[in-house]
Amino acid sequence: MITNEVDVLTALVPLGTGLDIIELGCGNARLLTELLQRCPGCNALALEVDAVQHAKNLARQPDDLKPRLRFVQASATAIPAEDQRFDLALMLKSLHHIPQDAMPSALAQTWRVLRPGGWLYVSEPVYDGALNAIVKLYNDEGLVRAAAQAALDQALQTGQWEQVAERRFDMQAHFPNWESFAQRMLYPSFADHHITDALRHQVKAAFDPHCGTQGASFTRPMHVRLLRRQPG
């Protein structure tokens, strides 16, 4: 069981000083923030398309990271950065959220802004496990998660990328109670899952057997693929 994915990332990617990093679909940028704290010589641009989450990121940005971490509301399909600007790009559970027909464009944009030899770290949840069985009651991601992997395979076939590592591991997802699960999983600001009262009760009935006095803990299987930009 992996408790912190930063450990996986730092074991795969040689993080020296002075690296420029971009995260595409950063969410709350938790991992990126910790990465910058571990690598004081690195700088980062964090893109998030969701206006609500972007505003939250701006409001709670740590003062000590403001000179090195910049938040921008933008999509991975139109990255607001010049060519060959970054050494490392991160997609953390974000590639499958991009519309399927736009995934190749997002990967092409990522290739454009990476320097030759730059790294693309893609971390995606595996379509399996007890948590996935609950979530698919209202948001079945089987097709989009498979599409994300297919888009990576297609990108590799262009010859613009080389896959240099692949890892599978389990992470814990913990929810203190049903209310925290509902707030985080049923009503995210970036998506409307059309939750009716009946559907909410159905999801709660599936969640409750996993929840005890200490909350509910799930094992979430993850799949990481590390690509490297080829010269061109």
Q: Rounded to an integer, what distance in angstroms lies between the CA atom of residue 230 and that of residue 77?
A: 20
Q: Which residues contact 109 (CB under 8 A, 6 or more apart)?
A: 76, 77, 78, 79
**What is the total count of domains within the chain?**
1
The residue among 20 and 232 whose pLDDT is bigger is 20
What residue numbers bound the domain in which 85 lies? 5-126+141-169+222-229
H-type alpha helices, the chain: 5-12, 30-38, 51-59, 103-113, 130-135, 142-157, 178-181, 197-207
pLDDT at 191 over 90: no
Residue 194 is assigned to a structural domain of this protein: no
Residue 157 is assigned to a structural domain of this protein: yes
- Range with lowest mean pLDDT among 49-63, 74-88, 166-180, 204-218: 49-63
Residue 215 is assigned to a structural domain of this protein: no
Residue 103 is assigned to a structural domain of this protein: yes
Residue 177 is assigned to a structural domain of this protein: no
Per-residue pLDDT, 14: 87
Helix, strand, or coil here: 28? coil
Residue 101 is assigned to a structural domain of this protein: yes
| pTM for this model (two decimals) | 0.95
pLDDT at 17 over 90: no
Beta bridge mates, 166: 225
Q: Rounded to an integer, what distance in angstroms lies between the CA atom of residue 109 and that of residue 125?
A: 23
Residue 12 is assigned to a structural domain of this protein: yes
Taking only the tens place, the pLDDT of each residue in 121-165 is 999 999 999 999 999 999 999 999 999 999 999 999 999 999 999
Q: Confidence class of residue 232 from pLDDT cuts 50, 70 and 90?
A: confident
Per-residue pLDDT, 16: 77
CATH number at residue 108: 3.40.50.150
Q: Rounded to an integer, what distance in angstroms lies between the CA atom of residue 63 and that of residue 79?
A: 25
Q: Confidence class of residue 228 from pLDDT cuts 50, 70 and 90?
A: very high
Residue 65 is assigned to a structural domain of this protein: yes
| Average confidence (pLDDT) over 190-199 | 94
